[in-house]
Amino acid sequence: MSQELFVARHQALWIRLESRLEPTIAKAIDAPSVASALAVDTDFPHLYRQLCHHLALARTRLYSRQLIARLSRLVLRAHQRLYGSRSDLRRAIVLYLAAGFPVLVRHQWRLVGLSALLFYGPLLAMIVLVQLYPQSVYRLMEPEQVQAFEGMYTPRMEGRVDQDHEGQSDFLMFGYYIRNNTGIGFQTFAGGVLMGLGSVFFLVFNGLLIGTIAGYLIHIGYHLPFWGFVIGHSAMELNAIVLSGAAGLRLGVALIRPGRLSRIRALREQGRVAVQMLYGAALMFLSAAFIEAYWSSIDGLPLALKFAVGGLLWLLVIGYFGGVGRGRGA
């Protein structure tokens, strides 16, 4: 095969790879770029293997030095992208947390606000409703479940209030909390593919359930053990649910209002944005599980200290999303 025909046949693939390799991690200050630095496109390894094959053919067929040099440079850049150093990954994560994640959340403020309303609205409403109508707790929970929560947060247990934690190592409970938290987050996010209705359902349902539990424990006078346990990890866990819901709603909007794109194409495009938000929510769930296992359940800590730490974490979360990265695009 002549060099001209070889170039004509494969030029499109080379240009495609060059366009993907153009953004560098050093320039990745917005959420989409940072996320692309964290994960390689699913078809990138296949394109890279094809490129290596093209370089081998060019060398074997003794094509021009210019063509071989071009393909060699492209292979080197693609190799660095595919097998990037750990320092590059660490830098990408730092950039994502220092700018990309909070900037993305502020860019999506409408969906984040709607998600927060769908979650915190029912939660607060149920806390009030249960004070007025205590029997309403049995609308959402079985009597056995209510008794279990009473035993879990009885004031007799002054420090370690999570009975599930007794007899288990902190590490095992850490894994349990990760599984539980990520399960809620994934349901809330994945429900977005049902035109957003699944995300709406899980946001409202979890808000109602958490509000019912909190309201009932307040009503029977178990509020201090309850808040003493949950206050530490609540800022991370509850807001991660909200962000998972916002990511799911982003998918729903893509399906309901695809614009000039097909629904599949719109879902693919908006799915990238949604997954970028989900990265941060997953880190928040991980942080919540760590706090819950290693801090919230510690026996003997003064409640005042737990409330102080919990309040500080809420202020940090609010300050992070409200101010971090404002000089970088939002």
pLDDT at 275 over 80: yes
Instruction: Say if residues 71 and 14 touch (Cβ distance below 8 Å).
Output: yes
pLDDT at 154 > cutoff 60:
yes
- Residue among 309, 295, 304, 307 at smallest CA distance from 161: 295
**Are the beta carbons of 244 and 282 closer than 8 angstroms?**
no
Mean pLDDT of the 142-160 span: 77
pLDDT in tens, 6-44: 999 999 999 888 887 765 433 433 444 444 444 445 577
CA angle 217, 286, 232 (to 5 degrees): 35
The structure's pTM equals 0.73
Q: What is the DSSP letter of 195?
A: T
What pLDDT is stored for residue 23 in this prediction? Answer: 52
User: pLDDT digit string (tens) for 48-101?
Assistant: 888 999 999 998 888 999 999 999 999 988 887 777 645 566 777 888 888 889
Does the pLDDT value for residue 319 go beyond 70? yes
State the Cα–Cα distance between residues 162 and 151, nearest whole angstrom.
Answer: 9
164/245: higher pLDDT: 245
Q: Which residues of 225-254 are buried (b: 16+ CB within 10 A; e: fewer)?
A: bbbbbbbbbbbbbbbbbbbbbbbbbbbbbb
